Amino acid sequence: MGNWERLVWNQRHLLLDGLVVTAEICLVAFLAAILGGLVLCLVRLYVPPLRPVAIALTEFFRATPIFVQLLWVNYVWPELFGWPTASFTAAWLALGLQSSGYLAETFRAGIEAVPRGQREAGIAAGMSGALVFRRIVLPQVLLMVAPSIVNQFTVIVKSSTLVSVITVEDLMFQSQKIVNTYLDPIEILTATAAIYILFVFLVSAIGKALADGLRNRYGLAAR
């Protein structure tokens, strides 16, 4: 118990600070991934002139390892574009870009799975294309892809363990800092792994609750 108290309990403020940074990065990256994935998907499906660009970006984000993307966004983008200027921003941006590639394909599969006749019926009833998408297509897509979206959030959480390589003071950064100080990795790395596991389980539980809420709201559309 002596080592656990000295290395884990007595350093809990560092671990908590790191966990807060990890949660912030993952949340912002997840929101950016949803927005980016939806934009890439809609451009690919409904803007033919830009379809090759959307396909190229989707494949590029999916094919590039997250470690490379972190270094690329953090060190190359500031030289080319003058942004991002902070490692925190580079971290969520890189995580969001990679996940947007996967979510773009997830959204595309969901949209294409909605029967075409439903869209045609909405148009025939006098609804605009945007209204058909918002009231008929999007709710069904969200119901179908909700598990994949939650799974992608857990992927972001796991990938976030690498943001410490660009000096973001996340949970893994603080854990390594404690290990390097005391040179006793067993307890601190075990505690860090447990925190990540609990975080992933929490994310999964929240995602399931949201998915169940959508099913209850839209009733038969979810069955």
- Report pLDDT digits (tens) over 16-62: 999 999 999 999 999 999 999 999 999 998 899 999 999 999 999 99
21: amino acid identity, one letter:
V
Cα–Cα distance measured from residue 129 to residue 94, given in angstroms and rounded to the nearest whole number: 33
Domain that holds residue 37: 2-222
Cα–Cα distance measured from residue 191 to residue 137, given in angstroms and rounded to the nearest whole number: 44
Confidence check: pLDDT of 171 > 80: yes
Cα–Cα distance measured from residue 140 to residue 113, given in angstroms and rounded to the nearest whole number: 9
Give the CATH number of the domain where residue 15 resides: 1.10.3720.10
Contact assessment for residue 174 and residue 17, using Cβ atoms and an 8 Å cutoff? yes
Q: The whole model's pTM is what?
A: 0.88
111 CB-side CA count, 13 A: 21
| Average pLDDT over all residues of the chain | 87
Please give the tally of structural domains in the chain.
Answer: 1
Query: Given pLDDT bands bounded at 50, 70 and 90, which one contains residue 138?
Result: confident
